[in-house]
């Protein structure tokens, strides 16, 4: 993986670590990961499958995780206050993270891309489509929501997993990851603990920063409800969600699909707040079909 790692220095001062898969001549597909999760949350074989489907895949670390800029000087925000409605400790918002995403497109000299986001990444992808509509060819929002606090909320068990105290050692970080995914994973599919352990170890080695994760969480909470603005999204849109997601309940997916004109909703039985390997062929096929439809519409526009 490291041989493929590149960096994009943005005018904002943020530097993003990124990697690519596939032929640069194919339609570009930008993958945006979720809260506290590095780009390796999009596993190599998943990215390779997308590339084999005829897509030029780009994945990157959001600010405050992995190899991208960590805003250490901003300190740790007040998560509990933000959960209670006071997000004044936010260092940035989803709009800033969407601007990072567009900055990466600028660095890559791409006028637009098909944008896929998971969880918080789905919220960022939605924000890109709202605030930078000319940069998005299609939108895929996976296990995400609209920002409306009335939908897509975690179950009590999901909230407990989200607020698990941060780890202080590598071993604790791995154990914490496994414990969280035993709660938020997919009840219809076995949890691949070996793969998850390897990813957790690599994530720790690439950059363990609990304060950065807290800053991301408060950014989500500070960014408000996108429902009305999602009504202005005009690109082909796919909403994918696990029917058994305890971290972002499926009402978030229903609300997202209802808010975006002509959005397609795919609820997957047995899927929680993750993408089990058994579902990759289905998800890749759905994304590839959306891209093909969007590229055809773009060619005839």
Helix, strand, or coil (residue 91):
coil
Categorise residue 143: left if φ over 0, alpha if ψ from -120 to 50, beta otherwise.
left
Torsion angles phi and psi, residue 256, rounded to 5: -65, -50
In the annotation, is 26 catalytic? no
Torsion angles phi and psi, residue 181, rounded to 5: -75, -20
Q: Which of 64, 148, 244, 245 is catalytic?
A: 245
Q: Which two tokens stand for residue 220?
A: 């989500």
Q: Is the dihedral of CA 183, 87, 116, 255 positive or negative?
A: positive
Q: Which of 89, 119, 145, 203 is catalytic?
A: 119
In the annotation, is 61 catalytic? no
CB–CB of 83/36 below 8 Å?
A: no
In the annotation, is 245 catalytic? yes
Helix (H) or strand (E) run with residue 246 in it: none
* Partners of 266 in beta bridges: 240
Catalytic residue positions? 119, 245, 273
């Amino acid at each position: 993986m490291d041989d493929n790692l590149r960096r994009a220095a943005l005018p904002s001062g943020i530097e993003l670590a990124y990697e690519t898969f596939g032929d640069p001549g194919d339609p570009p597909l930008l993958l945006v990961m979720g809260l506290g999760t590095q780009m390796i949350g999009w596993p190599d074989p998943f990215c390779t499958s997308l590339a084999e489907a005829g897509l030029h895949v780009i994945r990157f670390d959001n600010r405050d995780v992995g190899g991208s800029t960590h805003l250490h000087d901003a300190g740790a925000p007040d998560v509990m206050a933000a959960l209670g409605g006071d997000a004044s400790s936010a260092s940035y918002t989803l709009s800033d993270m969407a601007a990072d995403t567009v900055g990466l497109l600028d660095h890559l000299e791409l006028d637009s891309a098909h944008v896929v986001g998971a969880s918080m990444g789905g919220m960022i992808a939605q924000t890109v489509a709202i605030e930078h509509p000319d940069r998005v060819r299609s939108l895929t929002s996976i296990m995400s929501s609209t920002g409306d606090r009335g939908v897509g909320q975690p179950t009590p068990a999901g909230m407990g997993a989200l607020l698990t105290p941060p780890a202080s050692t590598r071993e604790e970080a791995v154990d914490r990851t496994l414990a969280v995914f035993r709660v938020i994973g997919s009840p219809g599919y076995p949890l691949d603990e070996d793969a998850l352990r390897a990813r957790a170890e690599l994530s720790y080695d690439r950059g363990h920063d609990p304060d950065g994760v807290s800053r991301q969480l408060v950014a989500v909470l500070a960014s408000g409800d996108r429902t009305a603005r999602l009504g202005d999204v005009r690109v082909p849109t796919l909403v994918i969600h696990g029917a058994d997601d305890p971290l972002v309940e499926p009402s978030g997916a229903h609300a997202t699909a209802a808010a975006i004109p002509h959005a397609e909703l795919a609820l997957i039985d047995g899927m929680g707040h993750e993408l089990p390997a058994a579902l990759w062929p289905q998800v890749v096929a759905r994304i590839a079909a959306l891209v093909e439809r969007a590229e055809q519409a773009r060619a005839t526009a």
